Amino acid sequence: MSASTSSGRRSAPQAAFDTWVDVWNGDYTGAHRVVSPDFRIHAALLDGSDDGAIRGADGLVEWIGQIRGAMPDLRFAAEVGPLVDGDFVAARWTATGTYAGGFPGAKAAPGTVVTWTGTDILRTEHGRIVEYWLNADSLPLLTQLEAL
């Protein structure tokens, strides 16, 4: 999922994106390396909570862990990108996972496979992610979970 520079080396934003995908796929080992302590997100969270409460690598990992609690085998794959423009990285992704239960309001049976898409825009500084804009198409997810 990474693009290369003309010399064949990945740029710092591209390398950060590769680790970003690994973190979302459950490998948290690189989170502190690529997520700035000043990290913040801009998103409409499904539970209605304040996106400003998610700060730094620890906040990100905790949030991802909560999502993965309902879908432990959750996998993200880039469909388009990463597209790099200076310190910005954008990618369209597809997420697929098996629902294990525990999503508030969901009536879907555990074992239901769900798939949805979204777009991430990341801003990096010195090779670390400092801001994250999330635009996820949550309607298919909520429909598949029978939460509407």
From the number of C-beta atoms within 10 Å of its C-beta (0-12, 13-18, 19+), residue 24 rates as: buried
Predicted TM-score of the model (pTM): 0.87
CA distance 110 to 98: 8
Tell me, what amino acid is at 112? Answer: T
Please write the tens of the pLDDT for every residue from 58-92.
999 999 999 999 999 999 999 998 999 999 999 99
Residue owning tokens 């496979």:
113
Please write the tens of the pLDDT for every residue from 98-115.
999 988 899 999 999 999
